Chain A
Amino acid sequence: MRDWLVRNRIVVGVVAMVLVVAGGVTYVVAEVGNQGKAAAEPGTASSTGVRFVDNGGGRNLVSTMDAAGNRTTGTMQCLRVYTAGGTTVCLRLTLPGAYEAAVFDSTGAQLRTVPLPGTPSRARVSASGKIVSWTVFVTGDSYLSPGGFSTRTGVLDLRSGTLTESLETFATSIDGAPDKRQNENYWGVTVATDDNTFYATLGSGDKTWLVKGDLRARTMVTVRQSAECPSLSPDQTRVAYKKRGGRLGTWQLFVLDLASGKEIELPGSDGVDDQAAWLTDSALAYAKVQQGGEPTIYESAADASGQPRVLVRGASSPSPVG
C-alpha cells in the first residue's frame, strides 16, 4: 500500500486536488444558491416598519419591511445603513480594505461620498435628514495602545457641506476639566432635532463616557460614565445606550430619562453590541447575534415592559421607515 502510494503519488495528489476543488465548488454553489431564499422569508409586524441590511440574503442589500411584515429587497449594497428625514447614509466597501460613506436623497440620487479611514461600525442621520454621522474602526493604528483599538467618528452637515473628519478635533472637557489626553476615541453619534446638539461616546484608557456636544461651537462635555452608543428618543427626553452590566461583563441596553436622571435596563438585551434605533417614542430596535447564528433585529419596549421580540432574522442596521 505504501509502495503503491509512493509510486503513484503524483496521480493521487492530482485526484486529491480535484476532489478538494469539486467539494469546495459544490458547497459554495449550494450555499450561494440558498441565500436568496432567506431574503424572501416574511418578518414580523412592527411599530413602524423598518429599513435594514439583509445579511441572510448574503448580498447585504438594503431592504425594507412594512408595518405588516412584508419585505421588499432593494439594490443598494451596504455594511451599515440609516435613513431619516429623506436622507440615507450607506457605509460600503469600495476597494479591498477601503470603504466610503455614500449619502442619498429621498429620490435615491447620490448627494455625496466621503472616503472612510476604516471598517464601518455605526451610521446615523438626524431626524431632519441634514446631519449625517458615522463611526469606523481603524485597524492600522492599534499600536497606539498595545492590545487596543482605535475609532474615527465623522460628521457631515449637508446644509453647509461641512465635513468633520474626526470628533477628536473638537474641544472636550472631562468632568469639568479641559481634556489634554492624546489617546482617546469617539464613537456612536446621535444628533438632536435642533441639528446642533449631539451625544456620543468618549473612550480613553479603560473608561468610557457619555458626552454631550455642540456642533457649531465644536465642543463636548462629559455627562456620565460607562454609557456607549447613545441614541436620542424622537421626543428628545430620553437616551438609550449600551452599558456593561451583564454577567461576564457583557453589554445591556439602558434608557436614561434626561430630566430625572433615572436609568432603566431593557430586559433580554444581554450581549447586545449595537447603537439602538428608536422606531417610535415607545419602541427601540437593535441587532444582536445569537451564539453561532446570524444577526437578528429585535424590537424592545422603551419602558422596559416585556421581553424583546424578533422583527427580522439575518438582518442588521435597523432604522424606522417614516
Chain B
Amino acid sequence: MYVASTRSGKENAPVDGVRTSRVPTTVFLLGTVSLLTDISSEMVTAFMPVYVLVSLQMTYVQLGLLDGLYTGATALLRLAGGYIADRVHRHKEVAVAGYGLSAVMKLAFVPVGASALALGGVQTLDRAGKGLRTGPRDALISLVTPSKDLGTAFGVHRTMDTIGAMFGPLVTFALLSWVTYRPGPIFMISFCFAALGVIVLVFFVRQPRLERVPGKVASLRATVGLLREKRMRRTTIAAGLLGLATISDAFVFVVLQKVSGLPSTALALMPVGTALMFLLAATPMGKLADRVGRWRVFFGGHVLLLGVYLLLLGPFGGIPLAAASLALHGLFYAATDGVLMAHGATLVPAHMRAGGLSIVQTGQALARFASSVGIGLLLQNLAFGTTVLLAVGALTAALVGVYLLIRPEVSR
C-alpha cells in the first residue's frame, strides 16, 4: 500500500502504482458522499428562514444567540474527530458517525417544533456531525491519493461538494413552489439525501489499510507535538494569520451590494456567483497547485482576496463590479479551501493525518470566526468604507508577514 513519505520533499509514487485515473475512485466516492450531504444540509439552510418565520410563527430573536456555540462545538469536535480517527485507525467509521449524526438530526427538526432552545440544540448537533467528519474525511482523501496528485484530488472533492451545495437551495425552492410548504416532507427529503450519502460511504468506500508500525502511535502528545515541527507550526500560524484577515462572506456580499448599487434582491444571488466560480475553478486550481506548489497557490489565493477587498472600495460600479468581485471571491476559495489540505497532507505523517489536518483547519476556522466577530464590533462604530480599508490593511500585513514566515521553509 501507499506509504506517505512526508518529510523527504521528493515526489512519491504509489507502490502499487497501477492506477489508470490520476484521481482515485475513493476520492470520487467521497465527493459523491459530500455532494449528497450538501444537498441535504443546504436544503435545510435554505428552508430555515421560511420554516421559522412561517411554519413556526417565530421570529429570529432567540436563534442567533447560538451562533457562537456552533462554531465552538464544531472546532472542538473537529479536533476530537481527527484525533480519534488516527488513534483507532478508523477514519471511515468516525466519518460515518459524523455523517450519520447530521443525517439523523434532519428527522429531529419536526418533533422539537417551535422551541427556540431545542431547535438550536438540533442545529448544534447537526453541525457537530460536520465537525466530527471533516478531519477523517480529508485524511481519507489524502491517504488514498499519491502525493503528487493531492491538489487535484482535493480540487475534485471540493468541486463535487460545491455542486451539492448549489443544488440544495434549488431542491427546496422547487418543493416550496410546486409541491408543499409542509415541513414534514421537506425534512424527510433532506434526510433521504443525507442517508444516501451515508450508504455510499458505508458500502462503497473502503478504509485504506495503514500498517501499524510500533512506535508510530497517534498519541495525544504526538498529535499536539506536530506543532513542534517547524513547517507544520509555520503553516498553522500562517493559515491562522490569513484567516484573521479574511472577512466573512456575508459581509463581502452586503458591502458589494451597497457599493455596486444593485437592488437588494441581488444579495440572494451573490453566494451563487461565488459558489459557481468555486466549483468551476477548484479542480484546475488543484492541478495548478500540484504543478507550481500548493503553498504558492494558497498564498496566491489570498492575494486574489486582497483584489476582492480593493474592488469593495468601489473603483467602478454596477454589474461589472459585482461580476468581477464574485469571480475573484470564487477563485479565492478554489485556490485555498482544498489546497490548504493538500499542502497540510504533505506535512503530517500518515498515522497522524486526520489529527494534523484538523489542527490546521481548526486554527483557520477559529481565526475566521474571530475576524467576523471583530468586524461585527467594528461596524457598530465605523462606516462600511472604513471597515473595508482596515481589512485591506490587515490582509496586506498578513500577506507580508506570511511571505516572510513561510518562504524559506515550505515553498512547495
Could you tell me which A residues sit within 8 Å of B by CB distance?
9-10, 12-13, 16-17, 20-21, 23-24, 27-28, 31-32, 35, 53, 55, 58-60, 77, 79-80, 93-98, 100, 115-121, 137, 139-149, 152, 165, 182-183, 273-274, 287-289, 291-295, 316
Contact = CB atoms under 8 A, between A and B. Distances in A.
A51 B177 CA distance: 21
Contacts of B177: 77, 93
Contacts of B113: 289, 291-293
A147 B170 contact: no
Contacts of A94: 265
A98 B46 CA distance: 11
Contact of A146 (B60, B63, B254, B377): B377
Give chain B's interface residue range (CB within 8 Å of chain A): 35 or more
B8 interface: no
B113 to A, nearest CB: 4
Contact of A79 (B54, B60, B192, B267): B54
A94 to B, nearest CB: 8
5 contacts: A32-B179, A115-B264, A273-B59, A289-B114, A295-B54
Among A16, A53, A140, A273, chain B packs the most CB atoms within 10 A around the CB of A140
Give the residue among B63, B185, B251, B380 with the most A Cβ atoms within 10 A: B185
A116 B265 contact: yes
B180 A32 contact: yes
A146 B68 contact: yes
A115 B200 contact: no
Contacts of B200: 13, 17
A152 B257 CA distance: 16
A149 B52 CA distance: 14
B376 A144 contact: yes
Contacts, number: 179
Nearest to B177: A93
Interface in B332-378: 372-373, 375-377
B381 interface: yes
A138 B267 CA distance: 10
Given A141-B254, A152-B264, 10 more contacts: A10-B204, A28-B185, A32-B185, A97-B46, A97-B173, A145-B376, A165-B264, A289-B56, A289-B57, A289-B113
* Interface of chain A: mostly helix, strand, loop or mixed: mixed
- With most chain B CB atoms within 10 A of its CB, the pick from A80, A146, A152, A294 is A146
B213 interface: no
Nearest to A143: B376
A287 B53 CA distance: 12
A295 B57 contact: yes
A271 B381 CA distance: 35
A27 B250 CA distance: 36
Given A93-B50, A96-B173, A149-B60, A291 B115 contact: yes
B59 A20 contact: no
A35 B180 contact: yes
Contacts of B379: 143-144, 182
A148 B377 CA distance: 12
A10 B55 CA distance: 40
B188 A147 contact: no
B250 A287 contact: no
A27 B64 CA distance: 32
B99 to A, nearest CB: 14
Given A21-B196, A292-B111, A96 B55 contact: no
Contacts of B313: none
Contacts of A182: 379-381
Contacts of B269: 95, 98
A223 B263 CA distance: 33
B53 A121 contact: yes
Given A28-B189, A79-B50, A149-B64, A121 B59 contact: yes
Given A13-B204, A79-B54, A95-B173, A148 B188 contact: no
A139 B49 contact: yes
A55 B265 contact: no
B88 interface: no
A55 B268 contact: no
Contact of A17 (B66, B185, B196): B196
B53 A120 contact: yes
B181 A95 contact: no
Contacts of A35: 180, 182
B2 interface: no
B65 interface: yes
B136 interface: no
A9 B204 contact: yes
B65 A59 contact: no
Contacts of B380: 144-145, 182-183
A274 B57 CA distance: 7
Contact of A119 (B50, B199, B254): B50
